[in-house]
Amino acid sequence: MPKRKVTIPELLNMKREGKKIRMVTSYDYITALLVEETDIEMILVGDSLGMVVLGYEGTVPVTMEEMLHHIKPVVRAARNTFVVGDMPFGSYNESIESAIHNANRILKEGGADAVKLEGGLNVVKTVEALVSAGIPVMGHIGLTPQTATQLGGFKVQGKDIEAARRLLEEAQALEAAGAFSIVLECIPSPLARAITERVSIPTIGIGAGPYCDGQVLVIHDMLGMFKRFVPKFVKKYADLAPQILEALKRYASEVAEGVFPGPEHSFGMNEEILSQLAAGEGKRC
Ligand code: KIV
């Protein structure tokens, strides 16, 4: 059966029926084309693009223009996959009006199906306003990379009772605000299970164990392309970096040795034209 874009009611049904939702990040046309060939329901054009594609130290520097630049080719490639565009830091913390303006851009200019933003109780009013404006919103709680400094760094969240209760409260508040789904990042599996059982919208885990309604991974991590830092929760489904490196080294040495390009990678020329060319040697037009 050809792939068809999943709808939000279908995502909610998947939760009810216990069918796992699959999501992966993507930031460019060629990768999104490959995701489109799979059964993966959702693509996240995450602001993780700042680290894995743009070379920033974190996600904070990522701009709206950079997000849009990467959302557009993904949407062009993945016509039948539900695309969520991340709202970058600074695009929803100034005012509700600017949050709506920027979310509209992600949907209208970027072509995404929904937006994602980080935060709990602090963003509930914003989520409510976005949803009232007709914008589907995915929440994101637990380890929220845009505000990792406030959280004391990139570490597991919700480990003590107070923090666990707060995350549960935040998930319920996001659901009440109209979010259609929530990313749970880097929290203990039993807490993710408790949250998943207490909300009726799908939870999508990353470093949150097996009990979430779905999973998301950063594509460069799962394909083994990003060597700088691999979090504990990442499973590498391929180890592409060494293969790419090997290919680049072989190319470099074959060019240096004159092995590449060989005849099979070169274009021939009609003998007659060649002799005319030779006969004309030295003549000036
Ligand atoms: O930006 C991103 O890739 C994310 C995922 C880690 C959920 O927010």
Nearest CA to ligand 1 atom 4: 46
Specify the pLDDT at position 97. 98
3-state secondary structure of 136: coil
% of the chain residues with pLDDT over 70:
98
Range list for CATH 3.20.20.60 in the chain: 8-239
What mean pLDDT comes out for the span 117-144? 97
CA distance 47 to 159: 26
CATH number of 8-239: 3.20.20.60
CB of residue 24 inside a 6 A radius of ligand 1: no
- pLDDT at position 231 is 86
Q: Does ligand 1 have an atom closer than 6 angstroms to the CB of 207?
A: no
- How many helices and strands, by DSSP H and E, does the chain display? 11, 8
Question: Of ligand 1's atoms, which has the minimum distance to the CA of residue 216?
Answer: 7
Catalytic pick among 41, 170, 175, 185: 185
Residue 102, ligand 1, Cβ within 6 A = no
Q: Determine whether the shortest distance from the Cβ of 11 to ligand 1 is under 6 A.
A: no
pLDDT averaged over every residue in the chain: 95
State which ligand 1 atom lies nearest to the alpha carbon of 116: 8
Which pLDDT belongs to residue 285?
46
**Is 36 among the residues known to form the active site?**
no
CA of 183 to the centre of ligand 1 (A): 8
Q: Over range 94-121, report the average pLDDT.
A: 98
Confidence of residue 126 (pLDDT cuts 50, 70, 90): very high
Q: Which atom of ligand 1 is nearest to the CA of 25?
A: 3
Task: Name the band, by pLDDT with cuts 50, 70 and 90, for residue 245.
Answer: very high
Query: Given this model, what pLDDT does residue 281 score?
Result: 60
Lowest-pLDDT range of 66-80, 143-157, 208-222, 254-268: 143-157
Q: Report which residue type is found at 235.
A: K
- Does ligand 1 have an atom closer than 6 angstroms to the CB of 118? no
Mean pLDDT in residue range 231-241 = 94
Say how far apart CA 81 and CA 25 lie, in whole Å: 12
Q: What separation in Å is there between the alpha carbon of 148 and the centre of ligand 1?
A: 13
* The pair of three-digit structure tokens given for residue 62, joined into one six-digit string: 């990522």
Residue 283: pLDDT band (50, 70, 90) is: low
- Tokens 């990139």 locate to 154
Contact 102, 91 (CB under 8 A): yes
Atom of ligand 1 lying closest to residue 183 CA: 7
